[in-house]
Amino acid sequence: MPKSTNVKDYIRTIADFPHEGIMFRDVTTLFADPRGFRMAVDQMLHPYAGLRIDKVVGLEARGFILGGAMAHQLSVGFVPIRKKGKLPGKVISEDYQLEYGEAVVEVHDDAIAAGETVLLVDDLLATGGTAEAGIRLIERLGGEIMGCAFIIDLPELGGRARLEKLGMDVHALCAFEGA
């Protein structure tokens, strides 16, 4: 990988995955490079420097990688939002729409205390459906979302506008045109 200060340079694009016509933005190449990974985590945290964050919440699955690293750096707790049926114990659920069908995400019902400030993270913001479902779960637990941080924004799919319409502060390190 190149020595770069631009996170986008570490991201590989794979054509026609998982379906023909899709340009898959693969962050595993970013995660595999120690300089790129550290840079991504640092840059995702930068807009929130000096602000109180009680928990970092990561969306399944690559949000776990980023969220865990960010929570460690901040010395705060990490909370996973998972696909239905993956968490033991008592959970709350939120349905959301996919391009073709529906999905459900869950969080433990005691993962976030009322009034805790939360940073929601994931690798990619596309339509915003998963992030919106995560936001609804956090709000149902009484968490106060201080921001939503992503590595990649796909602006043409409208996720940023969707989250901003909910009153969220959205930060992405880079954007790619197209789906």
Q: What is the mean pLDDT of residues 26-44?
A: 97
Catalytic site residue 140?
Answer: no
pLDDT value, residue 101: 81
- For residues 148 and 120, the answer to whether their CB atoms sit within 8 Å is yes
Catalytic residue (one of 25, 38, 94, 99): 99
Q: What is the pLDDT of residues 90-102, one digit of tens each?
A: 999 999 987 778 9
- For residues 44 and 68, the answer to whether their CB atoms sit within 8 Å is no
Catalytic site residue 132?
Answer: no
Q: What is the pLDDT of residues 51-84, one digit of tens each?
A: 999 999 999 999 999 999 999 999 999 999 999 9
Position 20 confidence tier, pLDDT thresholds 50, 70, 90: very high
Position 1 confidence tier, pLDDT thresholds 50, 70, 90: low
- For residues 39 and 7, the answer to whether their CB atoms sit within 8 Å is yes
In the DSSP assignment, the letter for residue 101 is E
Residue 138 has pLDDT above 80, yes or no: yes
Catalytic residue (one of 62, 82, 116, 160): 62
- CATH of region 50-172, choose from 3.30.230.10, 3.40.50.2020, 2.120.10.30, 3.30.365.10: 3.40.50.2020
pTM: 0.95
Q: What is the 3-state secondary structure (H, E, C) of 45-97?
A: HHHHCCCCCCEEEEECCHHHHHHHHHHHHHCCEEEEEEECCCCCCCEEEEEEE
